[in-house]
Amino acid sequence: MCNVAGMRIEVWADVVCPWAYIGKRRLERAVAALGEPVEVRWRPYRIDPAAPVPAEPLAGALSDPLVEDALRVCAPDLTPAQNRLRVAGIAAREGLGPPWGAAWRASSHDAHRLIALAEPAGVQDAVVEALLRAHFVDAVDISDREVLAGAVGDVFPEGPALLAGPAGEQRVRELLLEGRARGIRTSPTLVAGDRALAGAQPPEVIRDFLAGGDARRPVPAEVERYRWAESLLEQRDPLGALELLGPLLAEHGDDHAVRMLAARAWYASAQLERARIALEELVAGHPTDAYAHVLLGRTLQRLGRHPQAQTHMQLGVALEPTYA
């Protein structure tokens, strides 16, 4: 995969997803056909966040009726066993295997940490390839750190030792939240600028997608983070929104919009005292902000402070009658 100056795309994928490996091969063919340099950055997606550590044999997991029902969503007309045979055939046509097929229901959390840590080292694609091969061809347990060390030792020898500490934890967590905020719902999903292509599409479809370029209007990183936090709040994930807002609150805590978004998230997550303090500061500094008055009134109501709540509710309605 090219990693020189040129077009940049992101691939949001989970290394325990067979379509991610198939999609990687198809992307490589599409890039070769395009004939232009493409910088690929890998981003985390979790198809099975509840996968255990240590892993459990996949055969046993597939016998669970709940797992079977979940897998049927991917191929409603096939049993999980039939679908695995179908995917194996597709993988073979892409030059993957034999052998082919995962043997473990394994958490991919540490694998995603390695992928994130490999980015600044410039070996991300090689690490992704090694992890996909370990899971689907070698059929080993990639939730095991010794297995991970063996899988990526040739391409990222310093990586596995970093897993003993917190390295990569926050980065992966924030990227997962960013992906959710941006509407990533499928592994793999290719993102170029403001455009996205979901699924392991045929190479010609990917090539046409890449030919569209990655141009988009530059947006400051702080603005992007704010938008992602706002998106998470709209998706009813106030705790995720607050996590993304953390750096903005630390650096721009006096910004009205940042403070208001945080207050909304504190209110939505029932952190009512924090919401009250923030909103009282907001209405003191911006006494004509009708929404701040109304939200403060609702917060005070939930805290049982009804006389104070009524005052702010009335002020909010007086400033903006549509809140009545």
| pLDDT for 69 | 60
Q: What average pLDDT does range 290-307 have in this prediction?
A: 97
Please state, in angstroms and rounded to a whole number, the distance separating the CA atoms of residues 163 and 152.
13
Task: Identify whether the C-beta of residue 75 lies closer than 8 Å to the C-beta of residue 86.
Answer: yes
- Report the percent of the chain where pLDDT is more than 70: 94
pLDDT, one tens digit per residue, over 236-282 is: 999 999 999 999 999 998 999 999 999 999 999 999 999 999 999 99
Please state, in angstroms and rounded to a whole number, the distance separating the CA atoms of residues 143 and 51.
9
Confidence category of residue 322, pLDDT binned at 50, 70, 90: very high
3-state secondary structure (DSSP) of residue 299: helix
What count of other Cβ atoms lies within 10 Å of the Cβ of residue 127? 25
What count of other Cβ atoms lies within 10 Å of the Cβ of residue 312? 23
| Model confidence at 18: pLDDT above 90 | yes
Total residues found in the chain within this entry = 324
Task: Identify whether the C-beta of residue 97 lies closer than 8 Å to the C-beta of residue 88.
Answer: yes
Q: What average pLDDT does range 104-132 have in this prediction?
A: 97
| Model confidence at 1: pLDDT above 60 | no
| Residue that is written with structure tokens 């996968």 in the block | 51
| Residue that is written with structure tokens 């926050």 in the block | 170
CATH of region 7-211, choose from 3.40.50.2300, 3.40.30.10, 3.40.190.10, 3.40.50.280: 3.40.30.10
| Residue that is written with structure tokens 């702080």 in the block | 222
Cα–Cα distances in angstroms (integers) from residue 48 to residues 15, 75, 107, 260, in the given order: 11, 17, 8, 34
Quick one: which of 171, 168, 189, 156 has its CA closest to 45? Answer: 189
Please state, in angstroms and rounded to a whole number, the distance separating the CA atoms of residues 4 and 39.
6
Task: Identify whether the C-beta of residue 133 lies closer than 8 Å to the C-beta of residue 85.
Answer: no
Quick one: 221-323 is in which CATH superfamily?
Answer: Tetratricopeptide repeat domain (1.25.40.10)
| Model confidence at 165: pLDDT above 90 | yes
Quick one: which of 324, 258, 261 has its CA closest to 290? Answer: 324
Higher pLDDT, 321 or 80: 321
What count of other Cβ atoms lies within 10 Å of the Cβ of residue 207? 19
3-state secondary structure (DSSP) of residue 11: strand
Six-digit token string for 9: 């795309």
Confidence category of residue 67, pLDDT binned at 50, 70, 90: low
| Residue that is written with structure tokens 């009250």 in the block | 276
Confidence category of residue 72, pLDDT binned at 50, 70, 90: low
Task: Identify whether the C-beta of residue 139 lies closer than 8 Å to the C-beta of residue 102.
Answer: yes
Boundaries of every domain in the chain: 7-211, 221-323
Please state, in angstroms and rounded to a whole number, the distance separating the CA atoms of residues 32 and 316.
60
Is the sign of the CA dihedral 293, 298, 300, 305 positive or negative? Answer: positive
DSSP code for 191:
E
| pLDDT for 5 | 46
| pLDDT for 68 | 60
Please state, in angstroms and rounded to a whole number, the distance separating the CA atoms of residues 174 and 46.
13
3-state secondary structure (DSSP) of residue 39: strand
